[in-house]
Amino acid sequence: MMVKARNLGRWLPLAAIATALAGTFALDLHSYLTMEALARHQAWLMRQVEANALLAAATYVTAYAAATALSLPGASLLTILGGFLFGLWLGTALVVVSATLGAIGIFLAARTALGEQLRARAGPRLTRVVAGFRNDAFSYLLALRLIPVFPFWLVNLAPALVGVRLGTYTAATAIGIIPGSFVYVSIGNGLDAIVAAGGAPGLDLLTDPTVIAPMAGLALLSLLPLAYRRFSGKRTQGA
């Protein structure tokens, strides 16, 4: 009985992800992950938050975690939406929790029979990511979260395939995604301030301090992978 229960537990993450994926495409939910769709439903979304903030937050966390676990495009947009709907600090907290839960979903799914298929999908890139986990898994994973050299889904997958502990994976993920989440949420929070003042999103956003400051931070974040590669290349040549 214990063996059967253990086997069932291994398949639960895979079943949950498969169910969420089927539901997403059956209901065409992925089509809502666009700026145009959010603009159309902006007023309605704000009313839901005002009517029941707790339910709205729970729904947001569930949707974001599912999108992350399914590796759907639109995570950046969902992060911006978090700042728009919930403000800077609560929005950042909800994004970190949501993204971490979604990443855990992929991690657990990779430990099931799905792991081999995911390994095949990753291809040669997986070998490059895996090499760094041999010495200090926490520090390496934290660095990969802070400096997104590899795709988010690939960094979610690799630790599970090399036996990194769930606790180590969760802690490094939650801490490492805070800076990037904060920047994207700040953009959404800036949009909210403009709309609350009676404005409408447009090209004039590029001159608004509440938006241009986090955009500058985002630009700096986007340069980190390039700086990392150049530094790594020089270090390799020097060795």
The whole domain housing 47 covers 2-75+88-176
Asked if residue 206 belongs to a domain, the reply is no
Predicted confidence at residue 170, as pLDDT, reads 94
SS (H, E, C) the chain: CHHHHHHHHHHHHHHHHHHHHHHHHHCCHHHHCCHHHHHHCHHHHHHHHHHCHHHHHHHHHHHHHHHHHCCCCCHHHHHHHHHHHHCHHHHHHHHHHHHHHHHHHHHHHHCCCHHHHHHHHHCHHHHHHHHHHCCCHHHHHHHHHHCCCCCHHHHHHHHHHCCCCHHHHHHHHHHHCHHHHHHHHHHHHHHHHHHHCCCCCCHHHHHCHHHHHHHHHHHHHHHHHHHHHHHHHHHHHHC
pTM reported for the whole predicted model = 0.70
Q: pLDDT, tens digit, for every residue of 110-154?
A: 777 566 666 666 666 677 667 677 777 888 888 888 777 777 777
- If one compares 75 and 93, the residue with the highest pLDDT of the two is 93
Asked if residue 196 belongs to a domain, the reply is no
Would you say residue 239 has pLDDT above 60?
Answer: no
Asked if residue 216 belongs to a domain, the reply is no
Asked if residue 233 belongs to a domain, the reply is no
Asked if residue 183 belongs to a domain, the reply is no
Asked if residue 117 belongs to a domain, the reply is yes
Number of domains in the chain: 1
Q: pLDDT, tens digit, for every residue of 198-212?
A: 444 444 444 455 555
Asked if residue 213 belongs to a domain, the reply is no
Asked if residue 230 belongs to a domain, the reply is no
